Each structure stands twice: as structure tokens, then as C-alpha cells.
Chain A
């Protein structure tokens, strides 16, 4: 019998008691679904849902030259990130390969909070230490914090019952909650309005339950990673380790706005070369024209020729059709088909996002 070495979040017992289906994910035992992925997905699109994302990592950067240090690490331009705001970027190696995709929040003068993916916490931290040539203080605080995402159009109404003021889109607010620090970030991974709460691990269950109570009348549902995956794919967000990793560069994976070419950063030279290389495959979005569900590694054909494989594929609960991301040659036009089980299904190349919320 295999020994269970998966890590558990502060909410593990809560999930277990709620009847969630728990699965291994990035070294953690996480809830994939409570009752139904479709219901949880729709709750977030129409109302609101709450996700445990405590597996994600938090790295604090403080002290002299913190700005310079981070600016050298990320593809995006940190000078575009105003005080108390956040910015999305890629950490690239010298070859332009993507070490991780991260969110950097400016907490104050030379003080930053970086949110990193669960599977890459240690790798990112080592990379940061190795490239810390300007004496910034780095602290991996991932074990001290839980994290949850409240997502959906009714998130604000719910959060206002607990907090007097809330940050605006892409802003961060630092408050005290039950005597411990809490960071409220107005962002998410679903394509909806919402908040991510970085909360002290000892207060994680308390905040989780308080949000569920506040959101009860609004129809809140606890949501698992299953719905998180269908929501993020519809919104066109990459999943690190599946859609992009060190074997792919930011130029290939996109999004194109994530690279600020006017500044310097590690990997820029390699990316500049790749930028003009028309022979590279790039990540494109496909929407099926007929019934079928593309899956990870499904083959993609153009005019009958194999041109690539699906990295993320799913049934889209909002669009009621199969959707996929796949690396295929640039400027490829013709009749696309994606292998779904035993048959090939007609597909069309589309622009991301697959789904955009009604304004």
C-alpha cells in the first residue's frame, strides 16, 4: 500500500465533512468537486462560489532594491504596477522557458507579495535566491498562510457583509482579521469579479465559514478544482504545468501582453530571438463545431495532417461545447479537427477568452 504523503490544507477536515471528493493535485490532497462540477461552475458564473486555494504559495520580498530585483525576474513591467496593485507576469529562465506564472502585489515601498503556483513554490524560491543580486529580503511564507478565492458577480455583495471597504480590480488591501494579517486581492482565475484572500493558516477555517455564512442567501457554493479548471479554461487562463512549463517559452504560450519588451529581464534575449521565429508553434484556442470533448493530449489535425496536441481540453459548461488549447504552427489556416475518443470532430480557431461575462 502506498503511503499517503500528500499535504493537506487547513480546510482538509472541512472538505472531508462536506463530502467533497478529494484528489491529489500538485502534491496536495484537494477537493475536486463537492456535488457537481456543472452546478459549481454555474454558481460562479451566475452568483458566487468559494474555492480553497491554500496550496498556492506566498513569497514576500522586502528591503532595498526589491523593485529592481523583481523587475529583473518577471516578463511584465513592474513599473506599471502602482502601489497596492498587482500585476501578472512570467518567471523565465535564460532560454525563455517558463519557470512559473505569478502575480506580484505591491504592498508598500520596496515591499511585495508574490503569489506562486503550488507545485513550483520551492523551485521559484530557489530561483529567486539564486538571482538575488541586490540584497532584497526573501521569505517563503507559504506554510503560514491559507488562501481562498471568492468568485462570481455576487462576490462583492457577500464580502461587504464582512469587510467595510474592499479593494478595486487588481488592487490589494492589507487588513487584520481575528488578530492576524489578511491580504484581500481583487483578482481571480475564473473570468468573473472576485477576491482572493491570503489569510493566516490559523484563521483559514474561520474566514471560510464566515464567507459561506455571509453568502448563504446569495446562493454561495463551495467549489472544487474541477469547476476551477473549467472556469479558467473558458476565461482563457493558462494552467502552469499543463499549458506552459520550462519546455515552452512565454512567446509560444502567450499571452502577448505579458512581455514588456522595453525593459530588461532574465530570458529577454532568448525571447527576442523566438519572437521572430516563424517556425515555432504557438498556443491557440479551438472551439468544436460539433459534439465531442477534447482532452489533454488529444491530437489536432489541419487539412488531415497532424499539427499538434491539446494541452487543456474540456466540455465548456457555459458554451455547451468542447473547447481546447493546443500548440500548433503559426499562421496555419484550413479545416481543423480534434480527436475526441475514436472520432475526429470539426473545430475552429478562436480568440481567447472562450467565454466573456456579460457587461
Chain B
């Protein structure tokens, strides 16, 4: 997957133009040791920014948010069965679910990979 075609949220999710959603490499490194992923059910309608599921690591639980509005068209069973793939391959095998995107203009509000990297730097400084 071309990382530059992905769009990122400030809550560390990514979404592809086909609507696949996952978490960033930075997020998986921060979370470490993902042991459970609670995915949304197929057919569920999600509003942009609403909670789509939960990622649980050994240490803590992290909510994941819908990057854009849409209907859940598919979930990645491989992630449900073996959550460690999110750590191993956050942008390829570790996608979590696919959204039927309601309004693709919402993608324009999200960050490119370069902008996301800049955002991460500013986040570290503000801490």
C-alpha cells in the first residue's frame, strides 16, 4: 500500500481511498503488544469521530474512532483472530475494517502522511 495515498487522523487512525481503516505505525508502537481488537459489526453506521472499536494491549485499552462517516462493509477476521498483526503490519495485514464512505469530501479534512509526521513532532513537543 502506498503510504502517501492514506489519510490520517489526529487520533492516529488511517483510512485508504477504498475505505479500509487501521492505526498508524506510531500508534502501534505506542500501544505495543496488542492482544485484543474489538471491531465494529458489519452494517453498523459510524459517524466521523465516533467510537468504532477498542484496541487492548497488555497494559491498557485504547478506543479507535471512525476517520470519516460511513457504513461498515467488512471487518478483517485476521486481526480479530491474531491481533498481533496490527503490530507487525499496521498498514497492510493489520487493517481493521472497511467503510463504505458516505461523503468522500471528508477525506480532505484529514492529514497526509507528511502532515501526520509533522503533527507527531508537534505533539511530542507539547507534552
Contact = CB atoms under 8 A, between A and B. Distances in A.
A293 B59 CA distance: 9
Contacts of B60: 295
B38 A341 contact: yes
B33 A293 contact: no
A272 interface: no
Q: Which of A32, A230, A293 has the most CB of B within 10 A?
A: A293
A209 to B, nearest CB: 25
B76 interface: no
A121 interface: no
A289 to B, nearest CB: 15
B35 A293 contact: yes
Contacts of A33: 32-33
Nearest to A226: B59
B112 interface: no
Interface string B44-61: 000000000010111111
Given A315-B56, A341-B54, A291 B61 contact: no
A317 B35 CA distance: 9
A67 B54 CA distance: 54
Given A37-B32, A291-B36, A341 B61 contact: yes
Nearest to B51: A342
B120 to A, nearest CB: 15
Q: How large is the interface on B (under 10, 10 to 19, 20 to 34, 35 or more residues)?
A: 10 to 19
Nearest to A40: B33
Q: How large is the interface on A (under 10, 10 to 19, 20 to 34, 35 or more residues)?
A: 10 to 19
Nearest to B59: A226
Q: Dominant SS at the A interface?
A: mixed
A317 B110 CA distance: 37
A36 interface: yes
A47 B101 CA distance: 49
Interface in B76-110: 87
B33 A38 contact: yes
A41 B58 CA distance: 11
A33 B87 CA distance: 15
Contact of B36 (A36, A37, A293): A293
Contacts of B35: 38, 293, 315
A314 interface: yes
Interface string A1-39: 000000000000000000001000000000011001110
Contacts of A37: 32-33, 57-59
A295 B57 CA distance: 11
A38 B36 contact: no
Contacts of B61: 293, 295, 341
A292 B56 CA distance: 9
B105 to A, nearest CB: 32
Contacts of A317: 58
A273 to B, nearest CB: 39
A25 to B, nearest CB: 12
A341 B64 CA distance: 13
Contacts of B58: 37-38, 41, 226, 230, 314-315, 317
Contacts of B54: 341
Contacts of A341: 38, 54, 56, 61
Nearest to B60: A295
A33 B60 CA distance: 14
Contacts of B38: 341
Nearest to A227: B58
A272 to B, nearest CB: 39
Ordered nearest first, which 4 A-B pairs have the shortest CB separation?
Answer: A37-B58, A37-B33, A38-B33, A315-B35
Interface of B: 32-33, 35-36, 38, 54, 56-61, 87
10 contacts: A36-B33, A37-B33, A37-B57, A230-B58, A292-B36, A293-B36, A295-B60, A295-B61, A315-B36, A341-B54
Given A37-B33, A226-B33, A226-B59, 10 more contacts: A21-B32, A38-B58, A226-B58, A292-B36, A293-B35, A293-B56, A295-B60, A315-B36, A315-B58, A341-B54
Interface of A: 21, 32-33, 36-38, 41, 226, 230, 291-293, 295, 314-315, 317, 341
